[in-house]
Structure 1
């Protein structure tokens, strides 16, 4: 999954302190949560994908 810059700005606007706030804990947690949810869905259908499993473990 690759988030484009517009999607990231939308996430930072919604959860951060502004659309350029990329470093606040709230914005980072929201970004990580979206990535974790996507990787979890991917692993449900591709359970032998060990690279994605490792990436998910590193994020968590």
Structure 2
């Protein structure tokens, strides 16, 4: 998924990702935030978004 897709340009989605990644960094102080961890978040986001849209 490209970060240039319209859905990822929405402020609410960017804030959602920021909150989730911040919580990850706080809960995992040994690793904190590392480059690419947002790529692990994308599949979960896509699955939950698809479930939301289907309902």
**Fold equivalence (TM over 0.5):** no
- Taking structure 1 as the reference length, the TM-score comes to 0.40
Instruction: Tell me which structure has the larger Cα radius of gyration.
Output: 1
